Structure 1
């Protein structure tokens, strides 16, 4: 059995960490669904910045949008939503077959709103309505301000993919926000079936920590943090609070592994995928990692509910000089800043493409 199918049988969904218009036009995304058991995808500002800035695939659409007076964010969201609607339609059979548990695509709010709770809530509502697809998540960062926006967006009925989580504590804060949003919907007599996922970024831990750690601890901290987070996830699902909400029809906020491509050339290219095999989770993979998994990946074990040796590994990293708590906060700040930089480049690319295209489109 193909390793991708093995993970599917284990209870882990595989989503693609990429979207481009040629990926859809060429039929490659449809092929990934059948060949690699892909049941969803994610996007972010960096993905779209590369997709739009480094190809001519969007040039005609940019010209049409510019001719209608669209600029900046409005033009970008028009382009992105067009792609994501098509992708959402490809995943709609999976969405329907799993009663909404799987088959999702994701669109991120402007990263410039990472520290603006009310602005994020307004943007989430607007984009959810604009996309007009039941299987499209709105991505909201798990920053302190984002946590406020997550609760409000869930209460408003907008499905949320919480992004930029880097620790069990950050995950727990986002999970609490989701639970509060659902509890408020119950109190208001509203439908409890508002889906959410919580995305923990993994490999960036090791990119940062390997500089300080001795070689035997290289590429172990990210997996250990993920294992601690998985333990917190299983504890939440076993809690009486969750059981009460589930009895009222609430759906679990699934844990998603993000940033699972191996960054260290000395490490196996399937390192994080194999280590993070776990039931009731999602792994979102870059294409390179997906192909590697299918070619030579091995699914031999899965994460333990109790976290296994994660605490011992984290303690060893602390003793070796890594301030794990401070690094979690740093990684979240840097992640938000990186997406903001990509967002600025994206808008610059749109402006640069729109000017000459706009002139040539004039009579």
Structure 2
């Protein structure tokens, strides 16, 4: 059995962390679905910026929208949603067969709204309405303002992919926001089945400490953080609070492992994918990691439900001078800044292409 199929046997969904117009046009995404058990995908501003920069596949669309008077964020949103609608339609049979558990795509709100809760809620509503697909998550970062926005967005009935989570505490804050939103819907007599995933980033932990800890600790921090978070995830869904919501018809906010591509060239390419095989979770991975998993992945079993050696490993990092809470805050801040940088670069690229292509195409 293929390693990708084994993940599903364990109870984990496999999503692609990429989207390009080329893979939609040439059938690559459909092949991933039928041959490699891919059941969803995620996107972000960096992915779209690279796709637009690397090929001419978006040029005609940019030119047409520029001539129609669209610019900046409005142009990009429609351009991206053209791709995401097509992907969502390809995943729709999976979405329907799983009753909404799987088969999702994701679209990010503007990273410039990271500290604007009210603006984030309005943007999330607008994106979801414009997408016009039930299986599209709106990605909202788990920053302080983002947490407030997540509760309100869930209460408004918009599915949310909470992004930029780095620790157990980040996850629990996102889960709490989700629960509050669902509890308010139950109290108001609204449908409690508003889907969400909580995306915990993995590989950036190990890259952040690589130069400051002994070699014996290399590529172990991300896994330990993930294991500890998985314990919290399981404990939350074993709680009386969750049981009451489940009885009312609510569905779990699934835990999603993000940033599972290995950054260390000396590490096994499938290190994180193999370590994070866990029931009731999702692994979203870049194409390079998907191919590595397909070619030589070894899925030997599920992540230990009790966290395994996570606490002992984290104690070793503490002895090595790593302050996990402080590093989690730093990584989240850096992640938000990186998305802002990518967003601004994307907006400039679209502006430049609009200027170059619009008049030429209109002639």
The SS at the match of 1:268 is: coil
Q: Which position in structure 1 is the counterpart of 2:315? A: 315
TM-score computed with the length of structure 1 as normaliser: 0.99
The TM-score with structure 2 as length reference comes to 0.99
Aligned counterparts of 2:340 and 2:226: Cα–Cα separation in 1: 25
Deviation at residue 331 of structure 1 after TM alignment: 0.3
1:362: how far off? 3.4
| Displacement after TM superposition at 1:359 (Å) | 1.6
Structure 2 partner of 1:113:
113
Partner of 2:295: 295
Cα deviation code 1:215-253 (max 9, x no counterpart): 000000000000000000000010010011000000000
**Structure 2 residue aligned with 1:344:** 344
SS of 2:57's partner is: coil
> Which residue matches 1:169?
169
Does residue 1:284 correspond to 2:284, yes or no?
yes
Paired with 1:330 and 1:246, the residues of 2 have a C-alpha distance of 35
| Contiguous gaps of at least 5 residues in structure 2 | none
Deviating beyond 6 angstroms after TM superposition, the runs of 4 or more aligned structure 1 residues are none
> Which residue does 1:151 correspond to in 2?
151
Aligned twin of 2:326: 326
CA shift at 1:209, angstroms? Answer: 1.0
Look up the match of 1:122.
122
In the alignment, what sits opposite 2:254?
254
Partner of 1:102: 102
How much does 1:318 deviate?
A: 1.2
* Partner of residue 203, structure 1: 203
Measured after TM superposition, the shift of residue 47 of structure 1 is: 0.4
- Rounded to whole Å, the distance in 2 between the matches of 1:282 and 1:362 is 45
Match of 2:193 in 1: 193
- Aligned-partner Cα distance in 1 for 2:201–2:86: 26
- In structure 1, the residue corresponding to 2:246 is in which secondary structure? helix
For 1:45 and 1:254, how far apart are their aligned partners in 2?
Answer: 23
Aligned to 1:266: 266
Q: What's the offset of the Cα at 1:303?
A: 1.2
1:299-342: CA deviations, max 9, x gaps? 11221221111011111111101111100000000000001100
Over residues 177-233 of structure 1, what are the superposed CA-to-partner deviations in whole Å (9 max), with x where a residue is unaligned? 000000000000000110000000000000001111100000000000000000000
Q: Which residue of 1 aligns with 2:17?
A: 17
C-alpha separation in 2, matches of 1:26 and 1:362: 27
Match of 1:50 in 2: 50
Q: 1:145-173: per-residue Cα shift (whole Å, max 9, x none)?
A: 10000000000000000000000000000
Following the alignment from structure 1 to structure 2, what is the Cα–Cα distance between the partners of residues 219 and 302? 19
User: Is 1:137 aligned to residue 176 of structure 2?
Assistant: no
For 1:101, what is the secondary structure of its paired residue?
A: coil
- Tell me the equivalent position of 1:2: 2
Count of residues in Structure 1 that have an aligned counterpart in Structure 2: 363
Deviation of the 1:127 alpha carbon: 0.5
SS at structure 2 position matched to 1:38: coil
Q: 2:225 is paired with a residue of what secondary structure?
A: helix
CA distance in 1, matches of 2:211, 2:166: 18
The equivalent of 1:245 in structure 2 is 245
CA drift of 1:120 comes to 0.3
1:124-153: CA deviations, max 9, x gaps? 001010100000000000001100000000
Give the distance between the partners of 1:59 and 1:36, measured in 2 at CA. 30
Q: CA deviation at 1:361?
A: 2.7
How many angstroms apart in 1 are the aligned matches of 2:55 and 2:225?
Answer: 37
| Structure 1 counterpart of 2:34 | 34
Give the distance between the partners of 1:36 and 1:42, measured in 2 at CA. 16
Q: Secondary structure at the match of 2:200?
A: strand
